[in-house]
Amino acid sequence: MPSARRIAVALPLAMPSLNPTMQAMAWMAASGIVFAILNAFLRVISMQMDPLQVQFLRYAAGLLVMTPFIFRVGLRAYSPNGLIGQLWRGVIHTAGMVLWYMALPHLTLADTTAIGFTGPIFVMAGAVLAFGEKMVWERWVSAGIGFLGVLIVVGPKLTATGGFYDLVMLGSAPLFAASALITKALTRRDRPEVIVVWQCITISLFSLPTALLHWSWPSPGQWLFFLATGVLGSAGHYCVTRALGAADATATQSVKFLDLIWMTLLGLLIFGDQPTLSTLVGGVVIVGATTWLARREGRARRLASTSARLAAAAPPTPP
């Protein structure tokens, strides 16, 4: 997993003074950039092949590009500490993908985007309920403002004409959130590399039946595309896993709204999609909310460190 490993080395070296929460936010932001590039590749290939087959081949390619590294250190190094959690994550994530692709042809891009960005809210709520994470009000405010920024971007294009398929698409959001929360739990016992490998294995297995329904053999050029998606997907999920393992899940979710910024920039650079005024305004709101949270988290950490130093330096109380 060369790309993921380069990111793993570069981020801590570039930001040695960051506290765990800020590191988690940085990892999540990095994952958004990688996934934006990945989605640009998938957008091209999905115009040529059935989307469900594309998803299967993307995860299968991820496993393929990591196979040499697995055999180099030995299979035992990639054995999980318990298989049940890995299997449940694969089942839930695959179920979310099936619902997402069922609804996709029946919804506008704006409706799809707006519903998709409810995911961070589900993750934050689930982290509080499942892990007992503190409800830090700044994180919830930042996430709420970030979602408002998404609505500003897609609001002018919302149609709400999907009917039943709006609910199908919405049903995929808590499933993807549950997959993220299972990943958070798995980071307590498995290394990020192990989690990413088993994600590729389980999702490839569970998504194969739907891929076979409309199977067509890729061309040599398409195989190269899939190898690239395998590298990018593995690197992106590695970053997400590092983010979820570094701090509370609630601390990272407002950063997810930056994904809309990365997608807009790549759409402009690669496909020539011109951003509208609402996109620019919503982007400013999203960046502002994320920056505000980052400053608040950094300030809170500095205050905690200062208080700890003062307490350690205080003279002992006389008897």
pLDDT digits 0-9 by tens, 261-278: 887 787 778 767 777 787
Q: How many CB atoms are located within 10 Å of the residue 73 CB?
A: 10
* Residue 310 falls inside a structural domain: no
Under 8 Å between Cβ of 222 and 280: no
Lowest mean pLDDT among 11-20, 102-111, 273-282: 11-20
What pLDDT, on the 0 to 100 scale, is given for residue 316? 52
* Residue 25 falls inside a structural domain: yes
pLDDT tens per residue, range 147-171: 888 788 777 766 666 678 888 888 8
* Residue 126 falls inside a structural domain: yes
CA dist 239 and 156 (Å) reads 33
When the pLDDT of each residue in the chain is averaged and rounded to a whole number, the result is 81
Tally of domains within the chain: 1
pLDDT grade for 2, boundaries at 50, 70 and 90: very low
pLDDT grade for 306, boundaries at 50, 70 and 90: low
* Residue 318 falls inside a structural domain: no
* Residue 274 falls inside a structural domain: yes
What pLDDT, on the 0 to 100 scale, is given for residue 203? 93
Under 8 Å between Cβ of 104 and 112: yes
* Residue 160 falls inside a structural domain: yes
User: Residue 239's domain spans which residues?
Assistant: 2-211+219-305
Q: What percent of the chain has pLDDT over 70?
A: 83
What pLDDT, on the 0 to 100 scale, is given for residue 250? 81
What pLDDT, on the 0 to 100 scale, is given for residue 77? 87
pLDDT grade for 235, boundaries at 50, 70 and 90: very high
CA dist 101 and 72 (Å) reads 36
**pLDDT greater than 60 at residue 251:** yes
Mean pLDDT of 253-263: 81
* Residue 314 falls inside a structural domain: no
pLDDT tens per residue, range 26-81: 898 898 889 888 877 877 787 788 888 988 999 999 999 999 888 888 888 888 88
What pLDDT, on the 0 to 100 scale, is given for residue 128? 86
**pLDDT greater than 60 at residue 281:** yes
**pLDDT greater than 90 at residue 313:** no
* Residue 32 falls inside a structural domain: yes
Closest CA to 145 of 254, 46, 19, 20: 254
Closest CA to 233 of 60, 95, 45, 77: 60
